[in-house]
Structures are given as structure tokens and as C-alpha cells.
Amino acid sequence: IAGITQAPTSQILAAGRRMTLRCTQDMRHNAMYWYRQDLGLGLRLIHYSNTAGTTGKGEVPDGYSVSRANTDDFPLTLASAVPSQTSVYFCASSDSHEAGEQFFGPGTRLTVL
Amino acid sequence: GQNIDQPTEMTATEGAIVQINCTYQTSGFNGLFWYQQHAGEAPTFLSYNVLDGLEEKGRFSSFLSRSKGYSYLLLKELQMKDSASYLCAPMDSNYQLIWGAGTKLIIKP
């Protein structure tokens, strides 16, 4: 693994289903983030984690949950998917919350029908 | 509230120079980032300014004026591979990046 990986690359999901998007980094970064990107809008922060064992809510957290059991992994769960959650999801990490420069994974394209 | 303004789209010619402007309003300020994003790909870091002035990195330069809430990204000797979206992202007092919608730059031969 080099950098940040995300899985799956893309997914079509029926509304009401539960889905977990996976994110793993091997840079030993303390901070990790989940964003969604929709056409015409900037990246919007869903949840973040400043360090393993802690998480926080971003701008658009409703309908999503995260966990940070260790430094490397930061999964994002949609408990019951809705069509408005159709988006491209990016995971990112940074050396620290204050460092600023974020490194992004390749993204997951999610379609909820 | 927090707000980022940058042009939606710009067109330039291969070999020319283009300046992408960004104005921002944030709750506190801890620097400003520019990222490049090619279509269908993830954003990648280009530059960071925390003090007023110009930061130069090869063909790309970025300028910041904190008092005016203004930044620009200058791209010289444009190449076709520079066709991408350019994202302006100031960092607020909580060290969160506030992302603009991006400027789509189209390079024509």
C-alpha cells in the first residue's frame, strides 16, 4: 500500500441498505477526513478524526457514522442509504489536524437508487 | 458565515499565462491552500500561503493578501495537462479547510 486507498471504487446501492466505505492509509498520519463532492459544490466535510480513538462531525454528518479504532483505518458507514447520498466520496489524511496539507484517496463513486 | 468565491470556468491558450482569483471570508485564518483536481481524480496539493506575498514553485505561483481576503494562483507556460479544476481552500480558526467549488480551467491549443 502506498498512500491512501479506498474501497470500493464504485458502488450502486438500493435505498435503505447499509454500506461501509473503507479507507486505509500507510503514512502514519494522525488526522483523517471524509468528504463528499457533488457537481457544482466544493468538497464538504462529513466527519473527521484528529487522532486514533477520536472523531468529530463536519459540515454534513447526518446519515453517516465513522470510527477510528487505529491510526490506519477510517471507515465511513451509511446506516440506511438515501438517494441524496449519491456522490463521490473522498477520504483524506494529514500529518496533523493543524498541518493542513491533506492527501486524498482515489475516491468512491456511490449511486443510491 | 464562511464563503469562498472563485470563477466557475476559465479558458486559456497553450503556452500562455492564466491567473485564477479567489476571495474568501472565514472565521479566523490559518493559511490558504490551492489544490489541482483532474476530472475523475482526487485533488492534489499545489501550494500553501500563510503570509502575505508570492510563493513560487516552478510554473505555478500563489499570492495571498490577508487584509483583502484574496488569493490568486498563477500558471505560466500553460500545457494541455494543466486542464483541470483548481480548488481554493482557506483554513479557518479550527484548522478546517473551507473548500471553494473550484475553477475549471480549459486549455486550448
Please write the tens of the pLDDT for every residue from A51-61: 999 999 999 99
Secondary structure of residue A83 in the 3-state scheme: helix
Torsion sign over Cα A59, A8, A88, B97: positive
- The answer to whether the CB atoms of B101 and A58 lie below 8 A apart is no
Please write the tens of the pLDDT for every residue from A44-92: 999 999 999 999 999 999 999 999 999 999 999 999 999 999 999 999 9
- In total, the C-beta contacts within 8 angstroms joining chain A to chain B are 46
How close A79 comes to chain B (CA, Å)?
Answer: 25
B45 at the A interface (CB within 8 A)?
yes
Q: Quote the CA–CA distance of B57 and B79 in Å, as a whole number.
A: 16
Neighbours of B81 (CB within 10 A): 8
